Amino acid sequence: MVRVVSGIGVELYRVSLELGDRVVLDTVSLSLAPGTHALLLGANGAGKTQLLKLCAGERWPRPDDDAWRVYRDGKERVLHLSDLLPRLALVSGERQDKYHRYEWNFSVARVVATGVHGVERPLLALTSAQHARVRRVLERLGLWRLRRRRFLTLSYGERRRVLLARALVSRPRLLLLDEAYNGLDGDSREWFNRELARLARTKMTIVLAVHRLEDAPSMFRQVWVLQAGRLVYDGSRAKAPTQWLATARSEFVAPAGRFARVPAHSVKKTFIRLRQVSLYRDYRPVIRALDWHIERGDHWAMVGANGSGKSTLLGCLYGAIPIALGGHIERSGHPPGSHIAQWRARVGLVSPELQTEYFDEISVGGLVVSGLHASVGLEVEPSATEWLLARRALKTVGLRVDMRRSVRTLSYGQRRLALFARALILAPEALLLDEPLTGLDSLFRTHIQSLLSALAQSGVQLVMAVHHSDDWVPEINRVLTIEKGIGRVSARRSSILLE
């Protein structure tokens, strides 16, 4: 039985938003009726996240006599934001990263329970009825088996599901979802679409921001398109413009050869070898007795469900996660006893967890330069040479922003591009990539895929964990499938169906 609620509608008229000295939303006017469902589309940096934050009451518009923001219920009653907040939920990558940044490592059940009172930390006791509500949501969303797990020990996709559960336990009347599909495997995306369909029958108002239009179910018939902070389309999905999705590779400069440190090899040579490697997270086995060798000229995709251990294994390859007693890992040109920093100076890493670390006040240029030191942040100002290398790397990935701009003002996708530049500034021998295209619009996804292909052809080793089959690059010729802690090697990419 579906419990019917009254959705909350939103109206904005000539609303603008400034962050620092930048206008991120420019005279936006829109209307969303109670109980309807809208898609929010736009390129990286268009202002989607900031528009959702404004609707959620987390941002306040620029003061203006003829601008206003109004919330209405199904009976056309105007609601004050303070009355709405307990029934308004925003799920975003930025909120998810907050748990990592502040080390809020509560159990899954306690994280979800905070949604009952709309708080971020479990400070308030629950009644028996509220405990029962939390349990029902955990069971419905397939999270009951994880209820005692610590939040920060979960995979990125598992964390996203937990925060969706936290939002739903609050019984919101306005649900704002910022790239909610990020990090979800195929089964989880199907589950999420079923849950959205169920929520639609409750008459809940839902706004869903996406980069992959194919992810959004057909129930989302109203579409908003943002471009450089302006609303350029407000209408039906069938007639929505597609120009913002167009690919224009000519806009980018990809001098991949300048960044390749290793020439292509025709003779096979082992780059990394793992023997009987087991990995644990929070005293829990994740990878069991894995034998795996990565040879020069082979480029690997790692596939598996959320929580299968892909990110943990990439962390091991990078040298950030130790192996259990009895296992061995050999890295080419890195003899036993060598400092791990020497290895990290040869290998570039792009991952959601690393992206989370960069939230403090650091410039875009400083973030990129930190890749030369395998550090998070810098202790000294970059030199002129380092600044030049950073500018070249940013140009390669296509991110055109002021290098002295704060990373905190970038969109999620722009931060991901900055991380790619951080990895490339090393002129790496290998790239370890954890869901590397997550958060990128279609133009940048195509560009980064082309860049990765060029790097692979020049001799840079690729190992990438992926959920979407269309995120693969043509040079991927080997597959490691991880299931229940066991790794299985496939010789050809055609031998496995991702989803």
Q: What are the pLDDT digits (tens) for 349-360? A: 999 888 888 766
pTM > 0.85: yes or no: yes
Confidence of residue 259 (pLDDT cuts 50, 70, 90): low
Paired with 86 in beta bridges are none
Q: Are 302 and 478 in contact (CB under 8 A)?
A: no
Of 157, 106, 115, 154, the closest CA to residue 134 belongs to: 115
From residue 160, how far is each of 111, 155, 184, 197, 420 by CA, in Å? 12, 9, 8, 18, 23
- Tokens coding 286: 């994740």
Pairing of strands 174-178, 88-91: parallel
Q: How far apart are CA 224 and CA 237, in angstroms?
A: 9
Q: pLDDT by residue (tens digit) across 448-469?
A: 999 999 999 999 999 999 988 7
- CB burial of 226-248 (b: ≥16 within 10 Å; e: otherwise) equals bbebebebbeebeebeeebbeee
Enclosing H/E stretch for 195: helix 186-200
Confidence of residue 494 (pLDDT cuts 50, 70, 90): very low
- The domains of the chain are located at 9-243, 250-495
Q: What is the pLDDT of residue 229?
A: 94
Q: Are 368 and 421 in contact (CB under 8 A)?
A: yes
Q: What is the pLDDT of residue 301?
A: 95
The pair phi, psi for residue 90, each rounded to 5°, is -120, 125
Average per-residue pLDDT for the chain: 88
Q: Are 363 and 302 in contact (CB under 8 A)?
A: no
Question: Average pLDDT in the 282-309 region?
Answer: 92
Confidence of residue 492 (pLDDT cuts 50, 70, 90): low
* Torsion over CA: 134, 136, 139, 140 (sign): negative
* Residue of higher predicted confidence among 131 and 123: 131
* 46-55, 121-130, 489-498: least confidently modelled range: 489-498
For helices 128-140 and 108-117, angle between their N-to-C axes, nearest 10 degrees: 120
Amino acid letter for position 454: A
Paired with 19 in beta bridges are 22
Does the pLDDT at position 414 exceed 60? yes
Q: pLDDT by residue (tens digit) across 301-320?
A: 999 999 899 999 999 999 99
Q: What is the pLDDT of residue 354?
A: 87
Q: Are 175 and 208 in contact (CB under 8 A)?
A: no
The CATH superfamily of 250-495 is: P-loop containing nucleotide triphosphate hydrolases (3.40.50.300)
- Tokens coding 471: 């995120």
Confidence of residue 264 (pLDDT cuts 50, 70, 90): very low
Residues of the chain with pLDDT > 70: what percent?
Answer: 91
- Tokens coding 30: 């829109």
DSSP assignment of 108-122, as one string? HHHHHHHHHHT-SS-
* Three-state secondary structure call for residue 128: helix
- Tokens coding 22: 């930048």
Confidence of residue 485 (pLDDT cuts 50, 70, 90): confident
Q: What is the DSSP code (8-state) at residue 245?
A: G
Equal CATH topology for 9-243 and 250-495: yes
Q: How far apart are CA 52 and CA 206, in angstroms?
A: 11
Q: How far apart are CA 46 and CA 442, in angstroms?
A: 13
Question: Average pLDDT in the 226-234 region?
Answer: 94
Question: Average pLDDT in the 170-193 region?
Answer: 90
Amino acid letter for position 94: E
CATH number for the domain formed by residue range(s) 9-243: 3.40.50.300
Q: pLDDT by residue (tens digit) across 350-389?
A: 998 888 887 667 899 999 999 998 888 787 888 999 999 9
Does the pLDDT at position 111 exceed 90? yes
